[in-house]
């Protein structure tokens, strides 16, 4: 049976949100850093305003009742603008201006600062370039209005109105153009392009396309220069929002449970991706929180040790559970359309037992070579569960991917 908390949802119990456990009994407090507290989020959901099967009026209440603290409706924006605002039945052609206004209205009605954050968003859905979510914007557009052989028109739309909305890369395709023009970097969007989906539905996109000749989208995105946080999402198209187990979701470290607090956490990349409800993950590299820049001094030539700390919890039933924490670094093998399949370099893989609150957090040293590239990602897996069918070699032995911390950025001087 799916694991569903009580119907009261996350915001109905007394006390400040940071002082009460989440819907699965996990403390919201990090053992590594003071201040921000954990909230659980699903930032990619559909309704019958596009190609979903559920009533949009039911989406936010259902997501809150399922234990989520933050949620977004992000219906597809495809080519409804061809109808010139006349209105149309809901469906695969995506939202129009009327549906966008309805999405924003429902988000405003459901938003409950301190209890539950509801965001309006849309999924720009282009058959060639891929899909991208936009959250918190006043305006919307669709793939038809920004159509072209490249993504320039959509990027110009995003860049042309100040700070109106945050954006993220959704379920990156197997290879080539469907990966957002191979993740071509746009300096003007460096701050507001805040995420890439590493978990979408039940899929681990670390391995997407690597069973052919493509690079992992994680490698391709970060190597392009994007400082993208890593998200898990359900991409729900049914009417059981938030209920199915094993689908992606996100954890955010917020200063306050409000729209402003959520957007600030996303901009800071204080976010992790998970496929386990109620999981808490926080991480530090040389004392810097995930999503941050780690200043390191070059000590001669070759690798140098860096201290990694990981705060993992899922309540008493998980204490002592054997997991594995991996350190991922830029790939050392050629990739892309003309090269071999390319995964990150597996710089370390450390077996850990999930500590109780009375035990020290997971900590170890990893060797980091300045010549290896500017980013570092932590991945958590369960060796007792089956690995992704596309995984091979050591990746297959590491088992099922549970979570990813957002990247650390290494600055050597």
Please, where are the H alpha helices in 165-320?
180-183, 217-223, 259-267
What number of CA atoms fall less than 13 Å from residue 69's CA on the CB side? 30
Residue found by looking up tokens 């009580």 in the block? 6
Q: What DSSP designation does 103 have?
A: H
Residue 209 pLDDT level (bands cut at 50, 70, 90): confident
What was the pLDDT predicted at 161?
A: 81
Residue 413 pLDDT level (bands cut at 50, 70, 90): confident
Q: CB 413: neighbour CB atoms within 10 A?
A: 7
Give the max Cα distance, the chain: 67
Residue 235 or 300, more confident: 235
Q: Which of 1-10, 38-47, 328-337, 361-370 has the lowest mean pLDDT?
A: 1-10
pLDDT at 351 over 80: yes
Sign of CA dihedral 394, 399, 401, 407: negative
pLDDT at 12 over 60: no
| Separate counts of helices (H) and strands (E) for the chain | 7, 20
Q: What is the pTM of this model?
A: 0.93
pLDDT tens for 81-94 read 776 455 555 567 89
What's the chain's average pLDDT? 91
pLDDT tens for 222-250 read 999 999 999 999 999 999 999 999 999 99
Mean pLDDT of 100-119: 97
What was the pLDDT predicted at 384?
A: 97
Mean pLDDT of 386-404: 96
What was the pLDDT predicted at 264?
A: 98
Residue 214 pLDDT level (bands cut at 50, 70, 90): confident
Residue 279 or 177, more confident: 279
pLDDT at 296 over 50: yes
What was the pLDDT predicted at 333?
A: 60
What number of CA atoms fall less than 13 Å from residue 336's CA on the CB side? 9
Q: Among residues 72, 31, 38, which one has the least CA distance to residue 252?
A: 38
Whether the CB-CB separation of 321 and 399 falls below 8 Å is answered with no
Share of the chain above pLDDT 70, in %: 90
pLDDT at 341 over 70: no
What was the pLDDT predicted at 84?
A: 46
Query: How far is the C-alpha of 65 from the C-alpha of 341, rounded, in Å?
Result: 42
What was the pLDDT predicted at 262?
A: 98
What was the pLDDT predicted at 175?
A: 66
Q: What are phi and psi of 92, to 5 degrees?
A: -65, -20
Whether the CB-CB separation of 100 and 53 falls below 8 Å is answered with no
Q: Which of 4-8, 51-55, 295-299 has the lowest mean pLDDT?
A: 4-8
Residue 269 pLDDT level (bands cut at 50, 70, 90): very high
Q: Among residues 204, 196, 200, which one has the least CA distance to residue 225?
A: 196
Mean pLDDT of 107-132: 96
């Amino acid at each position: 049976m799916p694991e569903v908390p009580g119907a009261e949802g996350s915001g109905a119990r007394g006390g400040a949100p940071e002082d009460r456990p989440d819907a699965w009994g996990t403390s919201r407090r990090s053992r590594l850093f003071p201040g921000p507290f954990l909230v659980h989020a699903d930032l990619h959901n559909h309704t019958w305003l596009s190609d979903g099967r559920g009533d949009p009026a039911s989406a936010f209440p259902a997501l809150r009742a399922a234990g989520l603290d933050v949620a977004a409706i992000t219906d597809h924006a495809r080519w409804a603008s061809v109808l010139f605002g006349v209105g149309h039945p809901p469906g695969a052609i995506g939202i129009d201006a009327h549906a966008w206004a309805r999405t924003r209205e429902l988000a405003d009605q459901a938003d409950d600062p301190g209890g539950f954050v509801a965001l309006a968003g849309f999924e720009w859905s282009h058959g060639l370039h891929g899909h991208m979510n936009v959250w918190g914007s006043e305006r919307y557009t669709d793939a038809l209005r920004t159509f072209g052989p490249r993504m320039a028109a959509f990027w110009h739309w995003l860049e042309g109105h100040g700070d109106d909305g945050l954006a993220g890369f959704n379920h990156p395709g197997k290879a080539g153009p469907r990966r957002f023009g191979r993740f071509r970097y746009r300096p003007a969007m460096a701050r507001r392009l805040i995420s890439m989906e590493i978990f979408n539905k039940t899929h681990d996109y670390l391995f997407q396309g690597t069973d052919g000749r493509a690079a992992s989208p994680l490698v391709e995105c970060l190597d392009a220069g994007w400082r993208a946080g890593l998200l898990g999402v359900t991409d729900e198209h049914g009417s059981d929002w938030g209920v199915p187990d094993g689908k992606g979701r996100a954890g955010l470290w917020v200063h306050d449970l409000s729209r402003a607090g959520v957007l600030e956490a996303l901009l800071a990349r204080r976010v992790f991706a998970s496929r386990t409800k109620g999981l808490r993950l926080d991480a530090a590299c040389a004392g810097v929180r995930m999503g941050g820049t780690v200043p390191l001094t070059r000590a001669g030539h070759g690798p140098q040790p860096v201290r990694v700390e990981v705060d993992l919890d899922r309540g008493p039933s998980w204490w002592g559970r054997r997991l594995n924490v991996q350190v991922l670094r830029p790939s050392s093998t050629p990739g892309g359309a003309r090269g071999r399949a390319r995964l990150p370099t597996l710089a370390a893989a450390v077996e850990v037992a999930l500590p109780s609150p009375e035990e020290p957090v997971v900590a170890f040293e990893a060797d980091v070579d300045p010549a290896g590239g500017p980013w570092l990602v932590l991945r958590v897996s369960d060796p007792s569960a089956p690995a992704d069918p596309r995984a091979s070699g050591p990746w297959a032995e590491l088992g099922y991917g549970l979570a990813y911390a957002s990247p650390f950025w290494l600055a050597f001087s």
